[in-house]
Amino acid sequence: MFTLNNKVAVITGGGSGIGRAIAVTFAKQGAIIHIIEMDKSAADAVVNEITQLNGKAFAHHCNVSIQKEVIAVFENIGNINILVNNAGIAHIGKADTTTEEDFDRLMQVNVKGVYNCIYAVIPHLKKSSGGSIINMASIAAHVGLPDRFAYSTAKGAVMAMTMSVAKDYLQENIRCNSISPARVHTPFVDGFLKKSYPGNEAAMFEKLSKTQPIGRMGKPEEVAALALYLCSDEASFITGCDYPIDGGFIKLNN
């Protein structure tokens, strides 16, 4: 079950964190991986990791917010069966403390970047007689998180795009779903704690972990397992859905 043998999967932001876990998991299940990254050295490291597991992977340096770059990379890849829109950036701020520059930056990467990749991949999925798109949304699209105005706005847009694409391409056998994680323990979290709470990282990590009712942060591999299911043939009856993976945050955090 859940094999992706010889399926070609494009994963944006696949050089670290959740994207890396998805790339490695998909490769273990037989997919041919194409990582799209701004950080080429990080992408190359994941490619080497997959190669050592006897998998096939390739790295592409690309800014997802620039459409012509995205189209060129996708044309170079050719046949594509799976797209995981994982690349994104974070921002802390309320509506009146978010600058126009920061708001535009979030929209360029987290919204336009997703659109650009969907725009570029649809023709390839049609040629492949269908396929699967996964967009990484967030619990921030579901609930009001403090100081996450621009980020929540962007992830809300990602969820809306997911539903629209799922509806528009049903007849082409293209499925589109989104995943909404809560806090997941990634290198980004460690870097944020080191920068914001020097010398107090462990205590803050524990505090952030307990904001999930389950009492801990998620693991990148857990998100990757959900993505694997949604991209597998076993999920062929699923499209137009958002899947929270949040340790009970949305429903149980009262």
Lookup: tokens for 240: 């137009």
Pairing of strands 32-37, 56-61: parallel
H-helix segments, the chain: 17-28, 40-52, 67-77, 100-106, 113-127, 149-168, 187-196, 201-209, 220-231, 249-252
Residue 82, phi then psi, degrees to nearest 5: -140, 135
- Give the neighbor-by-neighbor strand order of the sheet with 82-85: 56-61, 32-37, 8-12, 82-85, 131-136, 174-181, 242-245
151 is catalytic: yes
Active-site residue, selected from the candidate residues 115, 151, 169, 243: 151
DSSP string, 71-112: HHHHHHH---SEEEE-------B-TTTS-HHHHHHHIIIIII
**Active site residues per annotation:** 151
